[in-house]
Structure 1
């Protein structure tokens, strides 16, 4: 029995499906959730919800939700703990309760479909393929195998998700992504794809990128910078995507204060550096960090730092010193820096 058929059999046991996205969901997570919902509808599940925590703040993610009219609801932790036996819980594009989600630890999960490195995955159905560039690739495979109707919106969502997560097939793309994209292309709305690819950029995002440029420090082909405090969480990955292109830089890491946490985003085309491992080892004792060898992120609650001072400038100095020191130590960098 194929994985698609195993998933179908499990869904047929349920009367309700709760699809939980990871925090601050991106197009890959949202498109995968949309596709899983369509598969569930095809087997007769009428009660379906796509749930998320955090914010959809990246302008591209907001455009994705609005243009495709995706129905999202805020996640409430109690809703998955008290559910009925025939109410199924699914994770897409993430895999473990309490890691990059607000699902309570030890919550029983029915379905996990993911491509990110992870350990300790426990669910009734697991399709975990780290070698793939996008979770949407897996969902496209299921839609095709189960003959689920592929309308324009779903095809557009899945195709854009694959393009987005692979940087237009320049990062982590495999034969699976190319095959899925080839199938989706004839069904997708090309004009909507263009709109999704060129969303407007907020002033706050530009300010954060500018700050990261000004604060950059380069040591041995590793660039470390910060955006200060920002309300634009998704400005960090945009800043690091820009800075990793700087001549002579092979690894870029950008961090910043967002609300009551320190967020970190990293990129590295250097095969000698696994930024997922770097962030995990640097921050696992105080927060969370991880991802792929070339793309990773992390989050560290401010904790006692938030109460240490009411002076934001002093707080930023403390955060910069602490986070930079951990990264320098983990990357075995010397103290010599160059602009």
Structure 2
């Protein structure tokens, strides 16, 4: 175990960033840690880690966690409850009252006007950089499978105490963001997993993972079966209006477990946006690259080889899709942008 701790805790970049954090923050300072979208385990665990790190390093006066959306997935809501984490809504806090603002598992450009002119001083992320932004401390490592791994490195480099609850959160963050190492991961992810595994409450994680899909989601699975478009080893489907983006994620994850399906694109309208979720085996195709090339001109798009997401404001595509966003026109838009011919499907669900 000592060799793993040395391996993870002696990265020069991390040690330097810990020193910078300590020099930036003072005991009387306040910090807002921001999460973009619905909080997932990796983002929550990383936010918990940054808070614990700075509390022990400098003793912050106040630290608030805030997200742009509430937790949507049942497992994530239970995880947050089990970790006893209070995550506020970003639109209910005044960022200008905090001496420092940090963005975790995201980048300032993701937030658009939600930051109300406030420029975060700290950004720690593992997603590809798709636009220009600046932060006093910017640590973006695109090759890492989970941000929780990076935060384990920070905690070990700072030599602070890691509670069992934080070990549990970080382990679950690594498990979920790498999909139990079925997605992209590096040696550091494996080391951080092993390190947290021996200290975490694994029974709690098992209980959370066994949560079932909400019964109200079944109608979306039925729709996905009836309206799926299959092209050899690929499935593309538009679900219509859905209650939240997690519906698309659940359906996409399900289809990726079907025999001989290696690449899935599931879309749905959530409020004023078209959400498109990509899932793949990470071997045959690069989901992140496909998402950016196919839909980047219409909205935010990005991700990794095995998982990606697109968010398109409906006003950006209203000129060629009717206002009620019916099945046919949206399907055609998806297929055309993905450069798939509608006339050669191997299987059509209808």
TM > 0.5 fold call: yes
Secondary structure at the aligned position of 1:335 is classed as: coil
- What corresponds to 1:324 in structure 2? 335
Match in the other structure for 2:11: none
Q: Are positions 1:52 and 2:60 aligned together? A: no
1:217–1:223 CA contact under 8 A, matched in 2: yes
Q: Is the CA contact (8 Å cut-off) linking 2:49 and 2:155 kept in structure 1?
A: yes
Alpha-carbon deviation of 1:22? 1.1
Partner of 1:39: 53
CA apart distance, 1:23: 1.0
Query: How far 1:129 moved relative to its partner?
Result: 0.8
How far is the alpha carbon of 1:78 from its aligned partner?
7.8
d(CA) in 1 for partners of 2:119, 2:28? 15
User: Which consecutive residues of structure 1, in runs of 5 or more, have no partner in the other structure?
Assistant: none
- Deviation by residue 1:106-144 (Cα, 9 ceiling, x = unmatched): 642211111111132421011111111000001111112
User: Is 1:204–1:231's contact at 8 Å kept on the other side of the alignment?
Assistant: no
User: Out of 109, 124, 128, which is 1:113 matched to?
Assistant: 124
In structure 2, distance between residues paired with 1:281 and 1:290: 9
Secondary structure in structure 1 of the residue aligned to 2:243:
coil
1:227 alignment partner in structure 2:
239
Partner of 1:19: 33
Q: How far apart, in 2, do the equivalents of 1:59 and 1:286 lie? A: 30
CA distance in 1, matches of 2:225, 2:145: 28
Secondary structure in structure 2 of the residue aligned to 1:103: helix
Q: How many residues align?
A: 330
Deviation at 1:8, TM superposition (A): 2.6
Distance in 1 between the 2:154 and 2:183 partners?
Answer: 23
C-alpha contact (below 8 Å) 1:21/1:91 kept by paired residues: yes
Q: For residues 55-77 of structure 1, what are the alpha-carbon distances to aligned partners after superposition, in whole Å with 9 as ceiling and x for unaligned?
A: 31111111111111111111038
**Structure 1 match to 2:287:** 275
1:203: how far off?
1.5
Aligned mates of 1:270, 1:162 — CA distance in 2:
17
CA distance in structure 1 between the partners assigned to 2:232 and 2:216 by the alignment? 30
Instruction: Answer yes or no: is the 8 Å Cα contact 1:290–1:296 preserved in 2.
Output: yes
What residue in structure 2 maps to residue 337 of structure 1?
345
**Structure 2 residue matching 1:212: 3-state secondary structure:** helix
1:19-168 matches, within 5 Å, as: 19-42=33-56, 43-76=58-91, 79-80=94-95, 82-83=96-97, 87-97=99-109, 99=110, 103-104=114-115, 107-119=118-130, 120-168=132-180
Question: Relative contact order (alpha carbons < 8 A, sep ≥ 6): 1 or 2 greater?
Answer: 2
Structure 1 residues 189-338: aligned runs within 5 Å: 189-303=201-315, 305=318, 312=324, 315-327=326-338, 329=339, 335-338=343-346
Is residue 219–residue 334 contact of structure 1 (8 Å, CA) maintained in 2? no
Alpha-carbon deviation of 1:219? Answer: 1.9
In 2, distance between residues paired with 1:13 and 1:280?
42
1:178 to 190, 194, 211: 190
Structure 1 residues 237 and 102: alpha-carbon distance in aligned structure 2, compared to 1, 3 A threshold: farther
Structure 2 counterpart of 1:8 = 22
| Unmatched segments (≥5 aa) in structure 2 | 1-14
Cα RMSD (Å) of the superposition?
Answer: 2.5
Query: CA, structure 1 residues 250+309, in 2 after alignment: closer, same or farther (shift >3 Å)?
Result: closer
Q: Distance in 2 between matches of 1:15 and 1:315?
A: 51
**Partner SS state of residue 123, structure 1:** coil
The 1-side partners of 2:39 and 2:108 are apart by: 15
CA distances 1:188-213 after superposition (whole Å, capped 9, x unpaired): 11221111211232122222223222
Contact 2:121–2:135 (CA under 8 A) maintained in structure 1: yes
Q: What is the rounded CA distance, in whole Å, between the counterparts of 2:112 and 2:83 in structure 1?
A: 23
